[in-house]
Structure 1
Amino acid sequence: MALALPVCWQRLWRGSGRWVVGLMSGTSLDGVDAALVYLEGSGRELQLSLKAFVHHPFSDALRALLLRNSAPETSSVRELALLNVRLAQLYAEAVEAVLARAGRARDTLDLVGMHGQTVYHIPEAAPCAGTSVTATLQIGDPSVLANLLGVPVVGDFRQADMALGGQGAPLVPYFDYVYFTHPTETRGLLNIGGIANLTILPANAAPEQVYAFDTGPGNMLIDALAQQHFGRPYDPDGRYAARGRIDENLLAELLYDPYFLKPPPKSTGREYFGAAFLTAFLEKANAMGLTDPHDQLATLTALTAASVYQAYARYVRTHHPFDVLIVSGGGVHNRTLMALLERYFSPIPVRSVADYGLDPDAKEACCFAVLAHELLNGVPTNLPGVTGARRATLLGKLCLPA
């Protein structure tokens, strides 16, 4: 005798739309973003309505624990196992918070899409027990979250793409494709989180025409230096950098880093642009007489903006010159960084996604709501032109509660 499916399972495949919470905790390690959206349709016909957004901050203790376990020399298998569950608990709290802000009950929620917290990303093949593999690890278990909430959860989005030879990142370009593709404009979509990634959307693009890559550091190095010099987790409005002077000689040297010179597809993270990179930067700066904290922060802020423009000039401009650059992520609030992007990209206009009806802080969380929704629609959401995978595939693992 066949068993009746639970109501929450039945709703996944019935009706014309879904209520979905998207969750994102990025390399900036500042907390969890939760976006409640109502979604209908699929692909370029997808309709998204953002109903509520919250940022659920990490405690200092949790942030320190995540930082320690994102570095091979200090990570602990025991702590990673504990964090895998603790993060799922925090994600559940974030879901409850965004539902409360929207005034909606949990039993009206159809689905949750969660990125998880990346602790290590190995996009280039590395030796392992007699062969070479690529790998990535996002913690915050989706099955734990599904059972805490009593709501189906889709997580672990990167693995399927990597199984097909892709880098598993970036993942936001599918969202950029469905939300921002324009019939006549060629658009650049720049997301500045801990890492900066750039999506190229040719006018009226088909999915196979979209490409994207991580340009390098976003806020990660800026935040780390602001913490070190000023005891602040980030540079508010870019005010500390605004008081400094960019050392153009040091900036030019930094832009010869091998990552910037490597052609796409490519992706990166804290493994590359983390503590070791910052230490090397400070050693170079001090050796060159650049000792003022404001000058150092100004130069690192310029590195983020200049590396984005250099990537555009080297790998994009010849084939797809931009009509506009649209910026999202925490970096959009850094006025010094935005002014530098405007200077480098002039006369191309630089705009916030807020000008297109989307909260710049909510974009990545909305993306993972969309990716979860599309998995249930049976729609592949990796873009091989972006990640380098051999073919398109479904992304994510569906975890169902009892």
Structure 2
Amino acid sequence: MLRTLLNKTSLTIAGLMSGTSLDGIDVAIVHIAGRGAETNIKLLHFESLPFDEEMREKLKRLCTIEHSDVAQVCGMNFAIAERFADAILQTAQAANMDMDDIDLISTHGQTIWHIPVADEDDRFLPKSTLQIGDLSVIAKRTGKPVVGDFRTADMAVGGQGAPLVPYGDDLMFRDAEKGRILQNIGGIGNCTALPSVKADGGMIAFDTGPGNMVMDQVVYELSAGELSYDANGDWAAQGKVHNELLADMLAHPYFQEPPPKTTGREMFGKAYASAWLATALSQGVSHADIVATATAFTAHTIARGYQEYILPHSDIAEVIVSGGGAHNRTLLRMLGELLPAQTILMSDELGISCDAKEAILFALLGNAFIQGEPNNVPAATGAERPTILGKLALP
């Protein structure tokens, strides 16, 4: 099986993404031909399969020190792998494809904890990361080879293990004439700045901070669990930004750190959002104003990240947004107001579904692994050198 896979000139890969937003599983079945800069991509089918509320809330708890334990992490590693495998099988069925039509599965896994910088006071807390969703379980259930656990190899050569998307962003979006920023807004926001082909200067990439994570948790709690997110940004549009609360949020130390930098639920997850919400409610701020302020927080952290670390070095004409946050019209309006010199686009306008983009990127990372091509970007992660990310499980 492996020999056949290595000898193929093109592969059909199911890329699987389950991000920090914890809203569900995205699966993109992609036909990929070639390697490196000559890679050609065709999306064959995409499905987004939501988590049920019980699994989503259990995952949130696992991402906190206070409510997690080793038995729960151990069990969820297999339980979510079963869910990943089901998602692959369901997507193949929806695409009217047999599993024999798929050569490879490439999965990000579910991040439970991420330590991008070593704890100097504890030698047992080095730079490290944990993504669950066991590769062997997925391989055995689907009958296909599975590549995953990408972040650890980058950390092994000195990187922060993220962001991983710049590899695919460069392949899909670098333009001959225009500088672009690719902004994904999932649970966490991450950006990749791509100077035009003819321009001097290299790629810059980093996590801008919370994407949907704080907004979603605030909406969930304010609605007593009836809503998991602010659809279209409609609730935020009814409120006004509370500038003092916003200023306090923007004073967080993360936003003063220069790239390379990454973050996640360990910093801006449920505990952070719930504590901030309690403060806002104690000051008598209305629900609509709270949601508007949480939305502005994401917009300002994105724009400030550009203004401090990208725009002084690169001529950027377009910001291309993807991820669930691309559907939040209020968020995009705020972003446009903060970045008047740049055109804000959804990646759909360039032929790449904003919902499918990250799953496609993981298909590309899996293809690079099979081709023996380095698929990290040291300028983005801080790694000492390019290296091949990923581990392989066989059925």
Distance in structure 1 (CA, Å) of the matches to 2:121 and 2:394? 32
Q: Which of 312, 318, 321 is the equivalent residue of 1:318?
A: 312
2:200 & 2:384 partners in 1: Cα distance? 15
CA distance in 1, matches of 2:281, 2:101: 57
Contact 1:21 1:113 in 2 (8 A): yes
CA distance in 1, matches of 2:199, 2:105: 27
1:319-341 Cα deviation digits (max 9, x unpaired): 01311000000001111011111
**How far apart are residue 286 of structure 1 and its match?**
3.9
1:274 Cα deviation from its structure 2 partner = 1.4
Q: Give how far 1:14 is off.
A: 2.1
Give the structure 1 partner of residue 277 of structure 2. 282
- State whether structure 2 residue 290 is matched by structure 1 residue 293: no
Residue identity over aligned pairs, in percent, reads: 44
Change (3 A) 1:387 1:336: same
Secondary structure at 1:126 match in 2: coil
Cα separation, 1, equivalents of 2:261 and 2:385: 17
Q: How far is the alpha carbon of 1:257 from its aligned partner?
A: 1.2
CA deviation profile, 1:249-278 (whole Å, cap 9, x unmatched)? 322232121111111110000011112322
Native 8 Å contact 1:177 1:207 kept in 2: no
- What count of residue pairs does the alignment treat as equivalent? 393
Aligned to 2:327: 333
1:303 aligned to 2:303?
A: no
- Deviations, residues 59-90 of structure 1 (Å, cap 9, x unaligned): 11111211111111111211111111111111
Match of 1:158 among 148, 151, 159: 151
> Does residue 96 of structure 2 align to residue 103 of structure 1?
yes
1:352 aligns with 2:332: no
Give 3-state SS (helix, strand or coil) of 1:225's partner. Answer: helix
- 1:236 is matched with 231
Amino acid at match of 1:264: P
- The 5-angstrom pairing of residues 97-246 of structure 1 reads 97-126=90-119, 130=123, 133-204=126-197, 209-230=202-223, 231-246=226-241
Look up the SS of the partner of 1:119 in the other structure: strand
CA contact (8 A) 1:23 1:34 kept: yes
**Rounded Cα–Cα distance in structure 1 between residues aligned with 2:111 and 2:161:** 12
Tell me, yes or no, if the aligned pair for 2:82 and 2:138 is still in contact at 8 Å: yes
SS in 2 for 1:19: strand
2:80 counterpart of 1:87: yes
The SS at the match of 2:160 is coil
1:340 partner amino acid: M
Answer yes or no: is the 8 Å Cα contact 1:290–1:296 preserved in 2. Answer: no
**Contact 1:36–1:53 (Cα < 8 Å) also in 2:** yes
Residue range with higher mean Cα deviation, 322-331 or 82-91: 82-91
Cross-structure match for 1:264: 259
CA distance in 2, matches of 1:208, 1:374: 24
Give the superposed CA RMSD: 1.7
Show CA shifts across 1:17-59 (max 9, x none): 0010000001111111000000001122111100101111111
SS of the residue corresponding to residue 118 of structure 1 reads: strand
Deviation per residue, 1:123-177 (Å, 9 max, x gap): 0102587465111000000111111111110010000110111100010111101
Find the residue that maps to 2:26 and give its secondary structure.
Answer: strand
1:76 corresponds to which residue? 69
User: Do structure 1's residue 38 and structure 2's residue 59 form an aligned pair?
Assistant: no
Distance in 2, Cα, partners of 1:102 & 1:206:
41
In structure 2, do the counterparts of structure 1 residues 344 and 290 end up closer, same or farther at CA, with 3 Å as the change threshold? farther
CA–CA distance in structure 2, aligned partners of residues 369 and 135 of structure 1 = 23
DSSP-derived class of the 1:272 partner: helix
Q: 2:366 pairs with 360, 365, 372, which one?
A: 372
* Counterparts in 2 of 1:249 and 1:283: CA distance versus 1, 3 Å: same
Specify the code of the residue in structure 2 equivalent to 1:125: A
TM-score scaled by length of structure 2: 0.96
Match of 2:246 among 248, 251, 274: 251
Letter in 2 for 1:255: L
- Residue 58 of structure 1 is matched in structure 2 by 51
- Counterparts of 2:287 and 2:306, CA distance in 1: 29
Q: 1:205–1:99: structure 2 CA closer, same or farther, 3 Å change rule? A: farther
Conserved 8 A contact 1:214-1:267: yes
State the 1:209 CA deviation.
2.0
CA distance in 2, matches of 1:128, 1:158: 24
Supply the distance in 2 between the matched residues of 1:207 and 1:120 (Cα, whole angstroms).
37
Change (3 A) 1:127 1:253: closer
2:356 counterpart residue number: 362
Matched residue of 2:264: which SS? Answer: coil
User: Displacement, 1:205?
Assistant: 7.7
Q: Residue 213 and residue 205 in structure 1: after superposition, are their counterparts in 2 closer, same or farther (change >3 A)?
A: farther
